[in-house]
Chain A
Amino acid sequence: MIAAIPAFTEDEAQANAAFEALLWALSRPGQIRTLPAPGESGLIAALIDRECKVFCADPLLMPAVLRTGAEIAEADRADHLFLGEMRDLSVLDQLRLGSDLYPDEGATVIARARLGEGQALRLKGPGIDGSMSLRVSGLPDGLWHKRADLIRYPMGFELILLDGDRLAALPRSTLVEVL
């Protein structure tokens, strides 16, 4: 018999709310959701622990990642990649894309971008009723062609874009058309 309901701690609340936003954004690509706090901290709390191999390009995020106990890995071994501001596409060439047998081994890439301005994209695929448009800027040129080249469904990677406390996600199942 439980005497009282276990406490919904601050950590727990942040991780739960961040994941709720992430799950919504992944289920409905192109829709922008709000995280409980700006930046990657919520996603780190929700997803990362000692079982993860993390590539972290942003030195300011390194303390938060190290605190989780995750193994710091090179991009070709990492399952979660925190790229911060993406400067070039070279890291994408090393991404783990999983296999046809185990698509879940494909990486999750978290990068910063500005949502709602810049390049217009048309998205199609699961989670989208017809098509959806999204404007993104602050990403390197040629990213969308590179992404299309890399993804051989069901192999591929998930791209999560953060703009302050706003988040959009592009799972591998989404077709991106640059307008």
Chain B
Amino acid sequence: MSLSDLAKPWAAMSYGFLDASAKRELRRKMVKAVAVPGCQMPYASREVPMARGWGTGGLQVSLTLINPKSVVKVIDQGADDSVNAASIRRFLARVSGAMTTTDTLTASLIQSRHRIPEEKLSDNQVLVLQVPNPEPLRPVQPNMSIARQMHADADYSRMWLQLYEQIVCSGRVMQGASYPSLVNGRHVMTPSPIPRWDVPKLHMAEHLTILSAGREKRLFAVPPFTRVEPLVFDDVPFQVEDHADLSCYRSGARGFFMNEIPQDDGTSQYELSDSEYGVKTIRDREGDPVRFGETWYKNGKFS
């Protein structure tokens, strides 16, 4: 073995921006995260050209998985065209040569902030969710060493107490986004701040979901066909947002998760949160040939 055997040719930048050792660390942690679904695995979280808290965790996972044959979709609160999503998508394409798309059906790698697309994901797709706070126990236990011990002991009593308090004080569970969910009957995880509407989409899904928090330096995963059960009491069923009867003022689509747009006169209008599904609906109405995928919700009901 000589020195030149060990050295690699000089390059201005590694493929996919991250250097090879950063990728190997992420790969090793992803292996463990998939093996213990819902359990938070610490990782180093390297610098990327974006501020922590803007999706650096998801970006590092995407940069590790990406290759020139990938087709990447990036969404931010359901929208493909928000500044954050557009910047991340352009960066991913620039450093990898991967193709980009806005169509959920043709994407192989979907990085998302706070939404899961309305069309069902299949087994050849990977969903990467950006996570601001990976610790579901933080509201009840700010000390993260103690929180880790609580996960080790599967001691989730305070989570139940928190939900009970909300029901007593407010008459219903007030937790909107990041609804705590029990994964594989063992670890409680936060599904990232996706609305309750999206939580059932993780349960026994066909696709692999990887959740990564860059600022907090932890990642966890939900493999396909894994139980993801929102914490509920037997007599207080889990309820998703009451959006089944709302229709989108732009596309006319009905029965999906909506963004509320307050109007000057005090009323509200609603538009589809999944922007690409709205675009498809409008193009379909105008007579363009459009391929719709099967949706998780049909007529506003999860099926």
Contact = CB atoms under 8 A, between A and B. Distances in A.
A88 B64 CA distance: 36
Contacts of B174: none
Interface in A18-38: 19-20, 22-23, 26-28
Given A47-B24, A47-B31, A16 B95 contact: no
Residue of A12, A13, A52, A104 ringed by the most chain B CB atoms within 10 A: A104
Count class of interface residues, chain B: 35 or more
B123 to A, nearest CB: 8
Interface in A42-59: 46-52
A12 B27 contact: no
Nearest to A99: B152
B97 A108 contact: no
A51 B26 CA distance: 12
B24 A172 contact: no
A26 B95 contact: no
A67 B25 CA distance: 17
A117 B175 CA distance: 50
B36 A104 contact: yes
Size category of the A interface is 35 or more
A99 B67 CA distance: 34
A84 interface: no
B15 A12 contact: yes
Interface stretch (B3-11, B113-121, B165-173, B267-275): B3-11
Contact of B32 (A52, A63, A104): A104
Interface string A90-128: 000000000111011010100000000000000001111
A6 interface: yes
A103 B11 contact: no
26 contacts: A6-B11, A6-B17, A9-B11, A12-B15, A15-B24, A17-B67, A19-B64, A19-B65, A20-B67, A23-B31, A23-B65, A28-B223, A47-B31, A51-B21, A63-B1, A66-B1, A67-B5, A101-B148, A104-B33, A106-B32, A127-B224, A128-B225, A153-B36, A154-B36, A158-B31, A158-B32
> 5 closest pairs, A vs B, by CB?
A171-B35, A100-B152, A126-B226, A104-B32, A5-B97
